[in-house]
Amino acid sequence: MSRSRRHTPVFGHTTAGTDKPFKQAENRRARRRTRIAVESGEEPPHPKEHGNPWASGKDGKSYWSDARPRDMAK
């Protein structure tokens, strides 16, 4: 069973049930900024400029350096 234990101590964590409010707020910011740029004749911002996924409530994973062998079991 090669998959019966973790090989790196990276564990998921979150306190948020969903990313929907974060995504809505970030998309609203992006649309607003694009609208302002187009109205003023500037170049619209790059689509990846908004919505940093590492700043969301559901950011995902963290490295646990003190993981015991018991914690490494899947």
The string of pLDDT tens digits covering residues 29-57 is 999 999 999 999 999 888 878 777 777 77
Is 70 part of a structural domain of the chain?
A: no
The confidence score (pLDDT) of residue 13 equals 76
The confidence score (pLDDT) of residue 3 equals 67
**Total number of domains constituting the chain:** 1
Q: Is the pTM of this model over 0.75?
A: no
Is 54 part of a structural domain of the chain?
A: yes
Distance of CA 43 to the CA centre of its chain: 27
The confidence score (pLDDT) of residue 58 equals 76
**Domain range for 58:** 10-63
pLDDT greater than 70 at residue 2: no
Closest residue by Cα to residue 57 from 12, 10, 21, 11: 21
Mean pLDDT (whole number) for 13-39: 88
Helix (H) or strand (E) holding 10: strand 10-13
